[in-house]
Amino acid sequence: MFDYLEKQLPKLIMAPTAIAMLVCMYGFIGWTAVLSFTKSRMLPQWDFVGWQQYERLFANPRWHVALDNLLVFTLLFIIIALLLGLMLAILLDRNIRNDGALRTIYLYPMAVSFIVTGTAWKWILNPGLGIEKMVRDLGFTDFEFRWLVDPDMAIYTIVIAAVWQSSGFVMAMFLAGLRGVDDSLIKAAQIDGASTFRTYWHVILPVMRPVFFGAVVILSHIAIKSFDLVQSLTGGGPGYSSDLPATFMYTHAFSRAQMGLGAASAMVMLAGVMAIIVPYLYSELRGKKS
């Protein structure tokens, strides 16, 4: 009896979480998928209309703005955060003094929520309050920095704030990776007479490939989910020029009583996340087998 219980205990303990996951994650994903094929407006209704909501979605100019913004934001955010994080990690790894203190400074933005980041940057980038006013007060009266209020540039302010928030975290990942690189590899490279640059480029960075991959996956899902940052920094504006799919979904499903359309946009977002996660899982699982 006791043996039996002991054998079953792990399963018993895991069962509630497994059920919660099945219902709350996959169950609701399925429900959203079903909703996206219905006519639902304010409340769920079960009149199935096929792909009509998706057709309406892709006929909506605001959705295209949101998709374009997502592309610009994701690419720039990931690339800049990776480069900056890597640079910081390499510099910190060069045994400079007080690297502990510096590390904390760079990591600190991670402790702040996106809402706070967004609000602070909103003030910093506001032409009448922030950088533009400061530089003008210094005497450069022609200085202009108006990305926040320029519909064509507003999306880049979101990149700035997101990079500020996340590059410290990327740095920490890379730093852990760098510290984990076998010393003998570096020594061997040095004995062979490789320059510091070549050592990094040809020896250390290739070893860190898994870290790159992990960082990209984490950053890209932050990018796709981005909601709070946009909401607090630009509110999607000016106009709807800095809308992202997540803010589009929220607006339509919850404040405009277009639940079917909102569900359709959520499914397209899910497809976007899958496109990144599935290859990652595939490569991970395949790696373990061999």
Binding site for another protein (CB under 8 A): 41-44, 56, 59-62, 122, 126-129, 146, 148-149, 151, 234-235, 237-241, 251-252, 254-258
Nearer to another protein, 42 or 138 (CB): 42
Phi and psi at residue 48, to the nearest 5°? -80, 135
Closest CA to 40 of 244, 246, 251, 254: 254
Give the whole-angstrom CA distance, residue 279 versus residue 172.
25
Closest separation between CB of residue 1 and another protein, Å? 42
135-156 burial string, b = 16+ CB within 10 Å, else e? Answer: eeeeeeeeeebebbeeeeebbb
To another protein, the closest distance from the beta carbon of 240 in angstroms equals: 6
Spell out the residues 6+ positions from residue 155 whose beta carbon is closer than 8 angstroms to its own: 69, 72, 73, 241, 242
Minimum Å gap between C-beta 154 and another protein is: 8
Closest separation in Å from C-beta 146 to another protein: 7
Quick one: 28 or 282, whose CB is closer to another protein?
28
How near is the Cβ of 273 to another protein at its closest, in Å? 23
Considering the complex, state which of residue 48 and residue 254 has its C-beta at the smaller distance from another protein: 254
d(CA 253, CA 260): 7
If the CB atoms of residues 16 and 128 are measured against another protein, the closer one turns out to be 128
| Lookup result for tokens 């994903």 | 29
- CA 31 to chain centroid, in Å, comes to 25
Instruction: For the beta carbon of residue 66, count every other beta carbon within 10 angstroms.
Output: 26
By beta-carbon proximity to another protein, the closer residue of 58 and 280 is: 58
